[in-house]
């Protein structure tokens, strides 16, 4: 079993335990069973249909055969070098320059480009982004990233239970207001921290693999710098917080504390690592 599969299994187990505890807290012993069943349902959806959900959120449509032959040729060539089947390419109408890959394995994996990326980048840079996404598929990152997107939505839904289920008093053996507040605040933050942990290490590895697939690092460096400029000035119209870690650059960009809590490492660090690799 690969390291990524072990990490995915650990995440699924942790989310299942969280669901059981929250279900028990809200609804008693029966709630623990309900929480476990709902967790299993979300896990199954994330595993089998997570890539379809991501494409639906992005309003993406398949790339029409023959519409961008240079991109189709690059997909076939890079996939051959990576030793994986060529992924289906999708286009999202989102004006922000960005892209993501999704799918539980290379056989069903997809790569989605925002139309804003195709407008903002040269062909050389677009191919570098494609190489990065193919690297995620080759490295088996997409399984974990796709499942985490579904689970991030799930734990946020769990936290929202506190809004709709009336709380009892401690004397009545009911719930505690402070625990409710902690659930509303801590659980979404925990989900975000998981996304950060999943994404930050994988982006460095995918950048490096992309440079290896292309035989040089400068196209990846140029693409990252273009992404940094573009995502800072063009807001995404389709990206969801639960999916933020799947993109090549954070689609929910911002400064200050937002940078510290970003699901992605700073572009400057990624560029520095790539240039060190070239050196």
The closest alpha carbon to 200, from 165, 162, 249, belongs to 249
Asked if 238 and 58 count as a contact pair (C-beta separation under 8 A), the reply is yes
**Count of alpha carbons within 13 angstroms of residue 242, beta-carbon side:** 20
Sign of dihedral through CA atoms 16, 17, 18, 21? positive
| Cβ neighbours of 268 (radius 10 Å) | 11
Question: What is the greatest pairwise CA distance in the chain?
Answer: 70
The closest alpha carbon to 132, from 228, 214, 218, belongs to 214
Of 77, 115, 133, 172, which one is the catalytic site residue? 133
Q: Alpha-carbon distance 184 to 252, whole Å?
A: 21
Local structure of 139: helix, strand or coil = coil
Q: Where are the beta strands (DSSP E) in 3-157?
A: 61-62, 88-92, 99-102, 110-114
Q: Alpha-carbon distance 62 to 110, whole Å?
A: 10
Active site residue 133: yes
Torsion angles phi and psi, residue 65, rounded to 5: -55, 130
Q: Known catalytic residues?
A: 133
């Amino acid at each position: 079993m690969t390291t990524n599969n072990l990490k995915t299994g650990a995440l699924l187990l942790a989310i299942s335990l969280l669901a059981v505890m929250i279900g028990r807290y809200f609804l008693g012993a029966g709630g623990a069973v309900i929480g476990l069943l709902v967790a299993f349902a979300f896990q199954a959806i994330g595993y089998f249909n997570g890539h379809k959900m991501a494409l639906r959120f992005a309003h993406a449509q398949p790339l029409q055969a023959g519409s961008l032959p240079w991109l189709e040729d690059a997909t076939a060539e890079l996939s051959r070098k990576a030793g994986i089947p060529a992924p289906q390419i999708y286009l999202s109408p989102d004006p922000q320059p960005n892209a993501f890959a999704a799918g539980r394995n290379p056989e069903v994996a997809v790569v989605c480009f925002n139309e804003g990326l195709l407008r903002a980048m040269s062909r050389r840079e677009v191919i570098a982004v494609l190489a990065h996404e193919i690297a995620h598929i080759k490295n088996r990152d997409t399984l974990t990233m796709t499942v985490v997107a579904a689970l991030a939505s799930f734990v946020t839904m769990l936290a929202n239970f506190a809004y709709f289920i009336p709380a009892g008093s401690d004397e009545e053996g009911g719930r505690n207001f402070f625990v409710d507040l902690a659930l509303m605040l801590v659980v979404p933050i925990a989900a975000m921290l998981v996304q950060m942990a999943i994404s930050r290490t994988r982006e460095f590895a995918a950048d490096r693999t992309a440079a290896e697939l292309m035989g040089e690092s400068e196209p990846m460096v140029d693409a990252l710098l273009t992404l940094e400029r573009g995502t800072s000035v063009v807001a995404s119209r389709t990206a969801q917080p639960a999916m933020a870690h799947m993109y090549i650059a954070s689609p929910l960009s911002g400064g200050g504390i937002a940078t510290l809590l970003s699901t992605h490492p700073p572009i400057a660090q990624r560029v520095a690592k790539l240039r060190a690799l070239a050196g």
